[in-house]
Structure formats: structure tokens, C-alpha cells
Amino acid sequence: MLDIRPVSLIADYFVICSGVNERHLKAIVEEVTKRLDEVGVNPLHTEGIPSSGWVILDYNSVIVHIFAPAERQYYRLERLWSDAKVVVRIQ
């Protein structure tokens, strides 16, 4: 998770994660959406589908990026936003 508040106005945090295949990406999207819905938080916008290798869930101040490995390597958001502070890193 990146704290992008000091370097961007579009959101406060980016959550960046990967799934190993389309089914895994779909499961991550469903679980994030389900858990946040349970506490009354719904995405303002979603973009992409698991088969594309990249799904974005926009929760206004938090944007969740869910990547397949090839797309995560291609976009390298951690590198693009390298001025942002890493809040949590789980490997």
C-alpha cells in the first residue's frame, strides 16, 4: 500500500496486489468488494475485468489495483509512484 497524499491529488492511498491467474484476480475483486460492501463502502467506479489482467476499484481516497503478474511488471506502479511512502508491503 502506498501513501500517495504527498505526491498526488487523485487519492490518498494505492493498494497494489497481484493474482496468479484470471480466477485468482476474480476472487480478489469479489472478496475486496464483498468485505467493503459489508461495512457500507461501495466503489465509486470500477475499471477492467479479470481477463484483461488489471482491475481497478476506486473507493475515492483509496484506489485498489489488482494485477496479473505480466501487467504488474509492465505498469510497475511502485516504480512510477516511487516518491510515495510505502505503508505496508506483504510478499
Domain ranges of the chain: 2-86
Kindly state the average pLDDT of the residues 28-49. 97
Kindly state the average pLDDT of the residues 40-66. 97
Helices (H) and strands (E) in the chain, counts: 3, 6
Q: Whole-model pTM?
A: 0.93
Q: Is the confidence at residue 91, as pLDDT, over 90? A: no
Amino acid making up residue 73: Q
Is the domain 2-86 a CATH 3.40.630.30 member?
Answer: no
Q: Is the confidence at residue 62, as pLDDT, over 90? A: yes
Contact 87, 1 (CB under 8 A): yes
CA 76 to CA 33: how far, in whole Å? 24
Q: Is the confidence at residue 32, as pLDDT, over 90? A: yes
- Quickly count: other Cβ atoms within 10 Å of residue 48's Cβ: 17
* Assigned C-alpha cell, 82: 516511487
